[in-house]
Amino acid sequence: MDEEKLNKMVEKKINELGGLVSRDAALLLIAKELKVDIPYDIFDVYNFSSMKIKDLVEGLKNVSLSGIVYRITPPRIYSTNRGKRRVQKIYFFDESANIRLTLWDSQIDDANKAGLRLGTLMKIQGARVSKYKDKLELSLNKSGKLIFQPHDTDDYKKHIPEKYRGQDLKVLVTNIVTNTLYENLSVLTGFSDNRIYVRILFWGDSANYLKNISVGDNIFLQNIVIKNLKKEIIEGLFTPYSFLYKLSKGSISEDIDVKNIFPFDQKIEGEIVFMIPYSKHRLLLTLYSDHKFKEVIIWGKMFIDEILKNVECDKVILNYLDLVDNKYKVNLWSNIFYKKVLERKKYEKYLIFETKNLSEIIGTIVEFSLDLYIYSKTSGFKKISHIDEKEDLSNIRFLTILKGTIDDGTGRLKIFSNSPYLFENLLYVKIASIRKKFYSITLVKNIIDFMRQDMIGKEVIAKGKTWNIDGKKFMRCNELVNYEYNVQTEKWLEKKILEKNKG
């Protein structure tokens, strides 16, 4: 290349950069583009003022430029050879291109104090250009500085994928839930400046923003994707393109009692009465709480699996429920705690309930229903009558359902039970044996059908916890003793069924 051609290239480069760089700086940029081997230290002597992003090349140091912030990642902790360090990335753009700036440790705190926000104009002084995974990125020199200036338009959202474009909210924080059933989910609740209840979901690392937020704080949520917008509630998602920061105290009116106005974040503590499938992937749980029965709709694979695993518990505490049409409903962030109250002991392979604190009723069965469901996380609930002989039962949960009415001569008592042990004692068929296919599904169906009909009119002793509500008696039945069948066996039942079906 001759000198004349080089001079023309230098002039062109200076013009491209608006005359903001010197001849020496232009020469260095051209050398970099032509892949001329130059020691990086030589770049230290130059200050490339007000460059455009598209003109950055690897190795430049002490660069100054500006752009609009459109994404801020949550602070993360990384283990490095220097120990554990915090890192945060800021993505910004100018009219030529976009790039990211990486901040470390105290630089993160300094940036937030200086006014880091989505949509702000960020001016960078003293940055260096490097390459990571074939992409250019910036980092601050030790003497580097960031200056943020408000930018009143939403232009930054044009650089955000459409599915992540959202709205801004001012929120007074009333609760932060971190101990959800899902380890990587946290939830912030509160109400907006126009007194609408707000609930925002934070997945994964985005929950790091909540570490410095407390109940009672006034916060500004930027670019929240609204998933559910009703008259009384706003439900939103904090996305990778969202951001939040604190507002001064009193920015939002606090003269409101959220608990008395909004039917959300409800808590129930009560005794388990009964549970029954509500739909293929939902379970209806009936609790005795505050001297009345309350119904809770349980949904979600993890919740249902957890409930069925603890089907023999007596008491339960459920937090963060919605109340809709007189039914409570769990959310992703609801949590459940179980209490075992009744004393139990194993005796001759059967679960025996101590009679302490239990009622005992002797009477005649006038109504009786018995059923068996299986539950898998993929296919949901299935009745035994809908199960195929070839279906794999090794990794599923069983739910036994018994309902009936007993007349003791003075009145009637409604009985309910989900006890697998009561089911086994009545049928002389073990759940474990059904799981292992020791019995055919057809035989189990026939035994259940036979018991439904044959229990009507039988005299029984029912033991369990009873409640009297509005003049009606109810029992969660833990034992149901039928003397006629105490001496019978599964073989006898099978014989009876075969005799009955002979004609």
**CATH code at position 171:** 2.40.50.140
* Residue 47: inside a domain: yes
Mean pLDDT computed over 414-439: 90
* Residue 469: inside a domain: yes
Least confident of 15-24, 159-168, 264-273, 339-348: 339-348
More confident residue, 158 or 34: 158
User: Are the C-beta atoms of 123 and 147 separated by less than 8 Å?
Assistant: yes
* Residue 2: inside a domain: no
Whether residues 354 and 329 fall in one domain: no
Q: What is the pTM of this model?
A: 0.64
**Total domain count, the chain:** 4
The SS3 assignment for 213 reads coil
Token output for 229 = 């917008």
Whether residues 228 and 124 fall in one domain: no
Q: Which of 458, 462, 482, 492 is nearest to 474 (CA)?
A: 462
Whether residues 45 and 136 fall in one domain: yes
User: What pLDDT does residue 313 have?
Assistant: 74
Q: Is the pLDDT of residue 168 over 90?
A: yes
Whether residues 119 and 165 fall in one domain: no
User: Are the C-beta atoms of 173 and 197 separated by less than 8 Å?
Assistant: no
Whether residues 278 and 323 fall in one domain: yes
User: What pLDDT does residue 183 have?
Assistant: 74
Q: State the CB neighbour count (10 A cutoff) for residue 310.
A: 15
Whether residues 117 and 210 fall in one domain: no
Whether residues 356 and 473 fall in one domain: yes
Least confident of 31-35, 106-110, 475-479: 31-35
Whether residues 219 and 148 fall in one domain: no
User: What pLDDT does residue 27 have?
Assistant: 74
* Residue 258: inside a domain: no
- Which residue range(s) make up the domain with 175? 160-252
Kindly report, residue by residue over 87-96, the tens digit of the pLDDT. 999 999 998 8
Q: Is the pLDDT of residue 181 over 70?
A: no
User: What pLDDT does residue 254 have?
Assistant: 59
User: What pLDDT does residue 263 have?
Assistant: 64
Q: State the CB neighbour count (10 A cutoff) for residue 260.
A: 6
* Residue 487: inside a domain: yes
Least confident of 205-209, 234-238, 278-282, 478-482: 478-482
Whether residues 332 and 438 fall in one domain: no
Whether residues 226 and 134 fall in one domain: no
User: What pLDDT does residue 45 have?
Assistant: 38
Q: Is the pLDDT of residue 206 over 60?
A: yes
* Residue 6: inside a domain: no
Kindly report, residue by residue over 350-387, the tens digit of the pLDDT. 334 444 557 888 999 999 999 999 999 888 999 998 98
Least confident of 132-141, 356-365, 409-418: 356-365
Token output for 5 = 């051609």
Of 224, 252, 280, the last residue of a domain is 252
Mean per-residue pLDDT of the chain: 83
Least confident of 13-17, 254-258, 473-477: 254-258
Of 156, 187, 220, the last residue of a domain is 156
The SS3 assignment for 175 reads strand
- Residue with tokens 């019995």, as numbered in its chain: 439
Mean pLDDT computed over 66-79: 91
Position 40 confidence tier, pLDDT thresholds 50, 70, 90? very low
Q: Is the pLDDT of residue 259 over 90?
A: no
Specify the DSSP element, H or E, that contains 28: helix 23-33
User: What pLDDT does residue 20 have?
Assistant: 55
User: Are the C-beta atoms of 100 and 136 separated by less than 8 Å?
Assistant: no
Position 42 confidence tier, pLDDT thresholds 50, 70, 90? very low
User: What pLDDT does residue 498 have?
Assistant: 66
Token output for 200 = 């925002």
Percentage of the chain lying above the pLDDT 70 cut = 83
Q: Is the pLDDT of residue 46 over 50?
A: no
* Residue 3: inside a domain: no
Whether residues 174 and 63 fall in one domain: no
Position 182 confidence tier, pLDDT thresholds 50, 70, 90? confident
Of 108, 123, 156, the last residue of a domain is 156
CA distance 220 to 168: 7
Mean pLDDT computed over 197-224: 92
Q: What is the CATH number of the domain that holds 493?
A: 2.40.50
Whether residues 87 and 171 fall in one domain: no
* Residue 56: inside a domain: yes
